């Protein structure tokens, strides 16, 4: 639903796979760094998706208020 959230989720998945490959090659430091990036991207994806739902809820609430005002005029 949220393009930016989807993008960061995809990045996190790719970074996780890269980290697994690096770990398998014994490149521990690079793997840890990639895991940190994956974690950051996944957290950002969650935040962005929550923001969008909150915005939608806020807009729906504003619309209900407008409708109530209109009905009571």
Q: How far is CA 42 from the centre of its chain?
A: 6
pLDDT tens-place string over residues 17-63: 999 999 999 999 999 999 999 999 999 998 888 887 777 887 888 89
CA atoms of 44 and 56, how far apart (whole Å): 18
Q: DSSP state, 2?
A: -
Angle CA 5–64–50, to nearest 5:
15
Residue 20 neighbours by CB distance under 10 Å = 13
Question: How large is the angle between the packed helices 3-24 and 28-71, nearest 10 degrees?
Answer: 160
The pTM assigned to this predicted structure is: 0.73
């Amino acid at each position: 639903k949220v393009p930016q959230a989807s993008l960061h989720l995809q990045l996190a998945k790719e970074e996780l796979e890269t980290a697994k490959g690096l770990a398998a090659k014994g490149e521990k430091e690079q793997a840890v760094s990639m895991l940190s990036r994956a974690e950051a991207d996944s957290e950002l994806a969650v935040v962005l998706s929550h923001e969008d739902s909150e915005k939608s809820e806020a807009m729906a609430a504003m619309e209900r208020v407008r409708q109530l005002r209109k009905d009571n005029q």
